[in-house]
Each structure stands twice: as C-alpha cells, then as structure tokens.
Amino acid sequence: MFFRSYFDSRLAHMSYVVGCQKTGEAIVIDPGRQIEVYQEIAKSEGLHLSAIAETHIHADYVSGAREMAEKLGVHLYVSDEGGPDWKYEYVKDYPHTLLKDGDQFKIGNIRFDVMHTPGHTPESISFVLTDEGGGSRVPMGIFTGDFVFVGDIGRPDLLEKAAKVEGTAESGAKDMFASLKKFKELPDHLQVWPAHGAGSACGKSLGAVPMSTVGYEKINNWALQDMSEADFVKQLLEGQPEPPTYFARMKRINKEGVELRRDPETLDKFTGEELGGSKLLVDVRAAKEFKDSHAKGALNIPLNKSFSTWSGWLLDGANDVVLIGSEADAKEAMRALQTVGVDDVIGFTDTEAAIAKNGADSYEEISPEALAPLLEKDEVVLIDVRNQTEWEEGHIEGARHLMLGHLEDRLDEVGKDRPIVMQCQSGARSAIAMSVMQRAGFSNVKNLTGGFSGWEKKQLPVTS
C-alpha cells in the first residue's frame, strides 16, 4: 500500500493519497481544489487516480472532487447520510457511489469501511482502512474528516452560526456525543488521519501534530474523557471561534458543484484603463510595503499563511478582482483564492500602474505610549479587530470590539468625529483593517504598533 498526506498550510487542510501498488489504483481522501498536486504524487509512484472519497460536504474550502470527476474521470464515493438537505447534488452527472453506515468499498486490495459519524455535520462519515493486499486482517487507521482531530473534535455550531440553520448547534453536539461512543470502541492501535490541523476554524484547539492514534486520543483528547452529555455539550459549544462568513457559500458550492477553475497562467496584466471602473483592487504585498505607499481604495491582504482565510472573509462574493503584486505572487494568490471560491480574478497589475490610475495613499502607526494618554482623555476611538475569545481574555480599556471579518458590515457604527486607531494582537490583522477603513473613506486612522501584545509589554492597563 502507498500512503501520502498533503497539507495546505493556508487552509490547515490535510488530504491523503492512498494507492494499491499491486493494482496501480489510487484514491484521494478529501481532495482540495488544486488537484495537480495529487496527479503529481500519483505519477511519481506509478499510480492511476481512479477515485475520491469525501468525509462530508466541506464548508471551509472548495473541494476538488467535482474537478477530478470532470477532468480525470474518477469515481466519487460520498455520503448518503444526514437527510434530504445534506445530499450531494452534482454527483448525478458522474460515476459515483452513495455511502451509508456499514457500507464497504475497495480500491485495489485496500478496503474502506464506512462509519456514520454525525456531529460536525449531519452527513459526516469516516473511513476505516484495512490493507488486505498486505495480508492484514486488522484495520490500520481511520480517516476522520472533521469528526476527530488531534486533541479536539469538529465543532457542531457552523450550520447555525454560518449557514443560519437554527437550532442545529445543540442537536449537532448531542450527535457528536453519540458518535464519539463509536470512536471509543475502535482498537487503540488505529492511526487517526484527520482533515485539518492547527489553524483551522473547524475546531477551537486543534493540535499541531498532523496524525495520532485512537488510543492516544482516548487518553489526551478532552472530548473523549468521561462526562455527562450535558457537560459535554456545554464544553463543546463554549469558546468556539467566529465562523468565517464564507463558510455558508462553500457548503452550497460543494453541495451543488463548483465551476471548473481558470488556469492562473492565463492571468492578464493590466497597465492602464483596465484598472478603472468598479474593479476591486487587492494588494497582496507585505503590510509594511502597503503602509508606505499603495493605490487608493485597495484592500491589503498579504500573501502569507492567513491569506486564504482573510480573503474568504473579506472577498466573499467579490467580482472583478484585480491583484496588485508581482506576476508570480499574483498567480500564487489566484490559486489560493480559488481554494475559497473567489474565482472572479480578472487580472493583475503592479503598484506603480495602480497608483498612476487611482492615486497614492499611505497610513501611519502610533505607539502604545503615544496612544495611552489620548485614550485616557477620550480623544481617539480605539477599535479592536481580534476574535471574541481574544477580546474576552483581555483587552484595552475603552476599546470597541469590531472583529475584522465583520468590520466592513459594521462601519456605520464608527463615527468620523475623532481620530481612529486600529488594533489587533500583533498589528497584522489591524494592518488589513487599515485598508478596509481607508477604502471606506476613513482618512484619520492609524495602526497600533505591536497591537495588544505591544500594549501589554509596556505594562499598560488591560481589562477583561
């Protein structure tokens, strides 16, 4: 048997290629949208990609399942659990098998046993792998999707908070409690192969180690300890991070079927009149470069590990996106945007051309020492753009909490009668927020150097 994992650090997403070396067949578990990586892995091992299997309808990234079915002719193995609202609609156009609890399927001599593990979502299933080609009669591991992570479990509140399906958070938590009883009955030696690692919004405390075992999780995972259902539900629902708003759209896209991607290599460079009109300029340069000089009206989302997540938040449903940066960065950014369903990227440009067409802008920073007396005199408005849990753990007294992902929708709550200071934990998210504010017409705005951490280091007062 061949086994290879692939980790997309921008999405904290883990997918897997499993192949039977005797028959040359291979399957991808929970594929991402950049399907070329799986083709390269299979080709390097002399394997043929013949199938994909998904643990559930994903909400945090665009699945590569439909694209692989269209371009590579793979067979789709997907859930048939969860009721009529949780069915894959696009699979009718491709060879597929609908799976229920207790079903089996094989790729070559590798057997997959299906477990229905609802909680994160109603249709969630897990796959227990047994390598019969290697002569084994016992299973090797389990693909848990967003059911069990290393040190955590999938959150059940996304449907209610992101997709606005009322009443599903508590019922999902109770389903999860029941599903974990099945997990506890599995052999301790089974390896656990989850779909996400640390940094994913699909849980609240995912471990940084990519894989685990059932036995280790029984000992160390908080959710697998002895407790009542009521205590479990309460603990699971408390402290979950804000679900990105684009999750609802991802769920719909992956259910109905996403359009095929445009090749980033065909991205056009704009230099003049193409930059006018209602184009949405997205500058992917580092925050410091953007601060010193940028085109008026541009959003700054630096091309780093958080790029996909914040693009999903801030560009949800965006049209006519023009990227500002080098050609290489623009193409990399376009690929990352495609993973969160931002497909309407029409071109890229450099900073000079964007400034020539739209005019130049910049912004200033302010130190904690300079901010403190202004706050005390109520001469500035301080906006904290961190997550709710960060805010509750501690914040600067007098600050207003407007989380970055919701900032643009709440700007009508911010007046222009006083100077404004933006603040996060380190200064990175508030730098993105600076571009949101400037684009919305707020000119008297500064960024707090070092953010909340810098404020604390200066031993300035905080509250919670």
- Two tokens, residue 10: 């921008």
Q: Provide φ and ψ at 353, rounded to 5°.
A: -65, -40
pLDDT of residue 293: 98
pLDDT of residue 204: 64
**Which pLDDT tens digit goes with each residue over 274-306?**
898 889 999 999 999 999 999 999 999 999 999
Give all domains of the chain, ordered by start, each with its CATH number. 2-256 (3.60.15.10), 264-361 (3.40.250.10), 364-463 (3.40.250.10)
Sheet architecture: strand order including 104-107: 104-107, 110-116, 125-131, 141-145, 191-194, 212-213
Region 120-140 average pLDDT: 93
Q: What is the pTM of this model?
A: 0.93
**pLDDT band for position 168 (50/70/90)?**
confident
**Which pLDDT tens digit goes with each residue over 405-429?**
999 999 999 999 999 999 999 999 9
Question: Which are the contacts of 246, defined by CB distance < 8 A and separation ≥ 6?
Answer: 312, 313, 316, 340, 341
**pLDDT band for position 122 (50/70/90)?**
very high
Residue 193 CA to residue 149 CA, distance in Å, equals: 8
Cα–Cα nearest to 224, from 281, 181, 163: 181
**Which pLDDT tens digit goes with each residue over 52-70?**
999 999 999 999 999 999 9
Distance of CA 345 to the CA centre of its chain: 19
Please identify which residue in the block is written with the tokens 């996060």.
Answer: 424
Residue 448 CA to residue 68 CA, distance in Å, equals: 46
Burial-class residue 138 by CB neighbours within 10 Å (0-12, 13-18, 19+).
Answer: exposed
Residue 198, pLDDT > 90, answer no
Question: Which are the contacts of 287, defined by CB distance < 8 A and separation ≥ 6?
Answer: 300, 302, 427, 428, 431, 432
Region 5-31 average pLDDT: 96
| Active site members | 424
**pLDDT band for position 210 (50/70/90)?**
confident
Strand pairing report for 299-300 and 360-361: unpaired
pLDDT of residue 164: 67
> How far from 84 is each of 121, 163, 170, 340, 369, CA to CA, in Å?
13, 16, 20, 25, 58
Residue 137, pLDDT > 70, answer yes
pLDDT of residue 134: 78
pLDDT of residue 267: 96
pLDDT of residue 276: 85
Residue 217 CA to residue 273 CA, distance in Å, equals: 58
> How far from 142 is each of 14, 315, 355, 384, CA to CA, in Å?
14, 35, 53, 41
Residue 445 CA to residue 363 CA, distance in Å, equals: 7
